Amino acid sequence: MPQIGTDSACYTRCTTPLISIEAAVLKSRLSVAVSALALSAAAFGHGKKDAVDYRQSLMTLIGWNFGVLGDMVKEKTPFNAAEFADRANRVAAMSDQMADGFTKDSMRAESYAKPEIWATWDDFQSKARDFTTQAKLLADIAKANDPIKNKEQFKKVVATCKACHDKYTRD
């Protein structure tokens, strides 16, 4: 009489779901790594136009998500806690990458970026860090599903955007 769990059919039945889950997790991690590598290559592996494209694409993505958040905060669309949290998480995740697209060789490229960014790099980085800090706080606050606190923090994130854009963006 075979012992329970020792025949090959049992082994296959017992381990196949685990292997499938591990493969899915590995595939997900690999996808994230490839995406990060592609974004890094766009910012650092090519010329100034690629850096400009990188930062403009990043700001477009942030703006896309920010627009939905703003519509909820302004009550143009109904508040949806799950979507608000998801969009806030996206903005927070992208916020860390903001300064990456401002490579020194992209200073003279055609864009809305003023040369003052590179002349006052420490201030620019400080403003980028402020944005990251406030965006991550918004993502944390969004978890609590409190529209009033979300609105207050959203305004703080907007203020960090405005502080940088007012000083470092051409009209």
Q: Judge if 29 and 54 occupy the same domain.
A: no
Q: Judge if 82 and 155 occupy the same domain.
A: yes
Q: What is the pLDDT of residue 137?
A: 98
Instruction: Indicate the number of domains in the chain.
Output: 2
pLDDT at 10 over 60: no
pLDDT in tens, 33-85: 445 545 554 444 567 789 999 999 999 999 999 999 999 999 999 999 999 99
Q: Judge if 58 and 38 occupy the same domain.
A: no
**What rounded mean pLDDT belongs to the chain?**
82
Q: What is the pLDDT of residue 158?
A: 97
Q: Judge if 139 and 150 occupy the same domain.
A: yes
- ∠ CA(141), CA(154), CA(102), 5° rounding? 105
Q: Judge if 73 and 126 occupy the same domain.
A: yes
Where are the alpha helices (H) located in the chain, listed in sequence order?
A: 8-44, 48-73, 81-95, 116-119, 121-142, 147-168
pLDDT interval class at 14 (50, 70, 90): very low
Q: What is the pLDDT of residue 74?
A: 96
CA 160 to CA 98: how far, in whole Å? 13
Q: What is the pLDDT of residue 97?
A: 94
Q: Judge if 84 and 117 occupy the same domain.
A: yes
The pair of three-digit structure tokens given for residue 166, joined into one six-digit string: 């007012």
Q: What is the pLDDT of residue 15?
A: 43
User: Which residues form the domain of 96?
Assistant: 47-168
Q: List 169's β-bridge partners, or say none.
A: 113
Q: Judge if 150 and 79 occupy the same domain.
A: yes
